């Protein structure tokens, strides 16, 4: 019998909607994969780094970005979170006033020069000296964190036993958590056993998103043939790290780990001297997550395994963010689906499997 799962619509707790001509096709790809809620990252150009138009700095405001998203089709999504980009211009008054007005719910920490359009970020040591995190905790503003140490020499950045993420979670996250135990933190796109251990030993104020690519692949997949469509940040890791991620989501009691695709479109992924970071999984992420559960040893025709999948995809994220679970449903079926490029006025976007030479995936979706 064909395995079929009827699932509540889900929350993509980490995605990049981009801007201008990309905004509307990307929002459509989120709706097409059953999202009723999304968290849209603020690393636009300029970044979304002020709450109101009158605040300090040559940035977009949360208000403006929300308006753009609504006008590009986002009004069909029930919950759109637009975090503020944490910069040197983020003040405690902005946080207090933004939270009071209801506009500011989340703030995103990027390490300086961490990933695409991330050069406005601050060093964690510097933020820890300010009152920003205290103001966030006092005003119930959640922190979304890209947990990688910056400015490392190459052997510390990525080596067999330790990476920039390991260092950040060992040294910075423990300090942050202990200094601000009441701050709610979503650890974005965790990729290492170190980060998984940190989350699991940190209590219910700490949650984490995991991407499809970090569950499906390891660094070997990236290197064999130099498949640059698999290049994202944090970079894919080794098998013991992937095993820790898979264990985390296939534990029956999991409440802390949830879906966040980090889907990030690039119309030009590769340049003459490098490669943009990000995997695009718009339209197909639930199907890829289902595949990842199967690759982790789950049989999704079994009720208990399907429940673990639902917890990860549909329940834990909304519960952590305090929004109601969706009452609408969509269906995933274990039957092949074709994957095609998404045309935009800025050029085609290539979904991850196509970039790896696969034009079909093993699960299909129906809304």
Q: Which residues bind Zn ion (CB under 5 A)?
A: 262
Nearer to Zn ion, 148 or 262 (CB): 262
Is 75 catalytic? The answer is: no
Nearer to Zn ion, 114 or 283 (CB): 114
To Zn ion, the closest distance from the beta carbon of 360 in angstroms equals 26
Residue nearest to Zn ion (CB): 262
To Zn ion, the closest distance from the beta carbon of 127 in angstroms equals 19
To Zn ion, the closest distance from the beta carbon of 221 in angstroms equals 20
Which residues on neighbouring strands pair with residue 257, listed in sequence order?
208
Nearer to Zn ion, 269 or 305 (CB): 269
Nearer to Zn ion, 189 or 305 (CB): 189
Nearer to Zn ion, 262 or 306 (CB): 262
List of residues 6+ apart from 353 with CB closer than 8 A: 284, 288, 339, 359, 360, 361
To Zn ion, the closest distance from the beta carbon of 264 in angstroms equals 6
Task: Report the chain's terminal Cα–Cα distance, integer Å.
Answer: 21
To Zn ion, the closest distance from the beta carbon of 37 in angstroms equals 17
To Zn ion, the closest distance from the beta carbon of 318 in angstroms equals 20
Nearer to Zn ion, 16 or 184 (CB): 16
How far is it, in rounded angstroms, from Cα 237 to Cα 174?
A: 22
Of 12, 55, 166, 262, which is the active-site residue? 262
Catalytically annotated residues: 262
């Amino acid at each position: 019998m064909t395995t079929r799962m009827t699932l509540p619509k889900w929350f993509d707790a980490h995605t990049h909607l981009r801007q201008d001509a990309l905004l509307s096709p990307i929002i459509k790809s989120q709706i097409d994969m059953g999202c009723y809620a999304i968290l849209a990252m603020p690393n636009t150009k300029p970044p979304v780094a002020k709450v109101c138009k009158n605040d300090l700095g040559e940035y977009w405001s949360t208000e403006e970005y929300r308006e753009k998203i609504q006008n590009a089709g986002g009004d069909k999504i029930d919950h759109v979170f637009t975090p503020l980009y944490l910069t040197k211009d983020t003040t405690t008054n902005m946080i207090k006033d933004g939270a009071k007005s209801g506009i500011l719910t989340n703030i995103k920490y990027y390490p300086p020069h961490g990933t695409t359009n991330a050069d406005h970020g601050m060093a964690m040591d510097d933020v820890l000296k300010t009152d920003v995190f205290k103001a966030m905790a006092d005003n119930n503003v959640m922190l979304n964190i890209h947990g990688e140490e910056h400015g490392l020499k190459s052997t510390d950045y990525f080596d067999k036993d330790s990476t920039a993420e390991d260092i950040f979670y060992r040294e910075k996250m423990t300090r942050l958590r202990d200094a601000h135990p009441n701050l709610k933190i979503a650890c974005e796109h965790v990729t290492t056993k170190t980060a998984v251990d940190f989350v699991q030993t940190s209590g219910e104020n700490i949650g984490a998103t995991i991407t499809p690519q970090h569950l499906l692949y390891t660094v070997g997949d990236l290197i064999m043939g130099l498949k640059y469509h698999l290049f994202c940040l944090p970079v894919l890791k080794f098998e013991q790290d992937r095993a820790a991620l898979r264990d985390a989501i296939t534990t029956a009691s999991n409440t802390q780990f949830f879906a966040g695709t980090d889907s990030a479109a690039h119309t030009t992924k590769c340049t003459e001297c490098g490669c943009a970071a990000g995997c695009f999984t718009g339209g197909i992420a639930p199907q890829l997550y289902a595949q990842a559960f199967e690759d982790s040893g789950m049989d999704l025709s079994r009720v208990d395994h399907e429940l673990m999948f639902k917890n990860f995809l549909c329940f834990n994220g909304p519960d952590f963010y305090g929004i109601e679970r969706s009452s609408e449903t969509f269906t995933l079926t274990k039957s092949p689906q074709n994957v095609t490029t998404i045309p935009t006025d800025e050029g085609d976007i290539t979904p991850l499997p196509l970039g790896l030479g696969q034009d079909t995936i093993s699960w299909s979706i129906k809304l």
